[in-house]
Amino acid sequence: MQTFTLNDKNRIPAIGFGTYQIPADGSTYKAVKEALQIGYRHIDTAAAYFNEQEVGKAVKDSGVNRDEIFVTSKLWLQDYAYADAVKAIDKSLQKLNLDYIDLYLIHQPYGRVDEAFRAMEDAQRVGKIKSVGVSNMTVKIWNRFKDCFGVMPAVNQVEYHPMMQQRELCALMAKNKVLLEAWAPLYQGNSLLLDNPVIRELAAKYHRTAAQIVLRFENQMGVIVLPKSTHTRRMKENLEIFDFSLADEEMKAIQNLNQEKGIHNPDNPGVGEWLLANFDVHKDEK
Ligand SMILES: NC(=O)c1ccc[n+]([C@@H]2O[C@H](COP(=O)([O-])OP(=O)(O)OC[C@H]3O[C@@H](n4cnc5c(N)ncnc54)[C@H](OP(=O)(O)O)[C@@H]3O)[C@@H](O)[C@H]2O)c1
């Protein structure tokens, strides 16, 4: 498995298995267990995906050594006050049934990010979290919060695919040695991407699928990819991107598809409020 080295010297597998929108009705357990069997060694979950428990059970039951699996989870907006964040980190550990989490992220960059990040840094100091990071930080949001970081975030997990290449953000993150992680690396299966003629042509040339061309492009751009699928064939296909490479002019052709347009703009007004109103990670306590 190819890895990248984070700015804190920890290593992260270049591809992870995404679990957003996989329900906690046994489906997450099944998918994650299968992903680990197929060869994934990196799982991406979050408190707000409501499936940490099934992820943890699949990791335990997989038969793969804990130190060979990289687990990411994320702190939800409701828990950014320092004391709440401390509790939420312990709750994630408990749900995942793990002694440590490899990477923990500020899921959404609104509100008391400074307190939340301090709690994460403290948890890192005592070994509950190996690496700390952020998510959904645009250039504008990064500049608003950058002074809160005692430890430089290891990653910024953002929407990233050929239609949304985040050029300005990539340059800023590279300057700070922060790796980009791609959420929606397949544009959530959007045909505007997977049926694009440039992608299709390369898929035909390399006898690959459109998804493999896209994921390979992102990998060659130095971005960590987190494709999600609940279909075995696609889970396998998405992992098989390390035995071919795109030439410079092919990379350029895909770079030219950039529209800097995607699914989600974290800079839009009211996003934090909307998310808070729609995802309640404490609903099971009520
Ligand atoms: N930090 C954040 O705020 C944030 C936000 C969104 C996502 N994420 C993370 O990033 C991960 C990936 O993002 P995502 O799940 O939104 O989108 P994605 O991985 O780009 O796309 C998933 C969609 O593409 C389909 N698909 C998967 N493999 C395919 C293939 N080889 N060919 C054609 N279609 C394929 C899947 O369908 P099937 O399942 O039916 O195969 C699913 O509908 C998430 O699961 C989550 O872990 C993070």
Asked whether residue 286 carries a pLDDT value surpassing 80, the answer given is no
**Contacts of 65-69 spanning 24+ positions with Cβ under 8 A:** 66/98, 66/99, 68/41, 69/36, 69/41, 69/42, 69/43
Q: What is the pLDDT of residue 283?
A: 92
Q: Which atom of ligand 1 is nearest to the CA of 74?
A: 1
- CB neighbourhood size of 209 (10 A): 19
Ligand 1 centroid distance, CA of 102 (Å): 21
Active-site annotation holds for 20? no
Backbone region of residue 108 per phi and psi (left: phi > 0; alpha: psi in -120 to 50; beta: other values): beta
**Nearby residues of 199 by Cβ (< 8 Å), 6 or more positions away:** 162, 193, 210, 213, 214, 254, 257
Give the three-class secondary structure for 86: helix
Q: Tell me what pLDDT residue 285 has.
A: 85
CA nearest to 161, candidates 214, 200, 202, 216: 214
Which protein residue has the closest C-alpha to ligand 1 atom 27?
229
Convert the pLDDT of each residue in 64-75 to its tens digit.
999 999 999 999
Tokens 């800079």 label which residue? 267
- Per-residue model confidence as pLDDT tens digits over 25-58: 999 999 999 999 999 999 999 999 999 999 999 9
pLDDT at 227 exceeding the cut of 80:
yes
Report the C-alpha gap between 151 and 264 in whole angstroms: 27
Protein residue whose Cα sits closest to atom 19 of ligand 1? 227
Is residue 139 within 8 Å of 172, Cβ to Cβ?
yes
Ligand 1 pocket, residues with Cβ under 6 angstroms: 18-20, 44, 107, 135-136, 157, 183-189, 194, 209, 211, 226-231, 234, 237-238
Q: Which of 29, 40, 49, 187 is catalytic?
A: 49
Ordered domains of the chain (ranges, CATH) = 12-281 (3.20.20.100)
Is-contact 6 31, C-beta < 8 A?
no
**Cβ pair 8, 154 in contact under 8 A:** yes
Contact 91, 48 (CB under 8 A): no
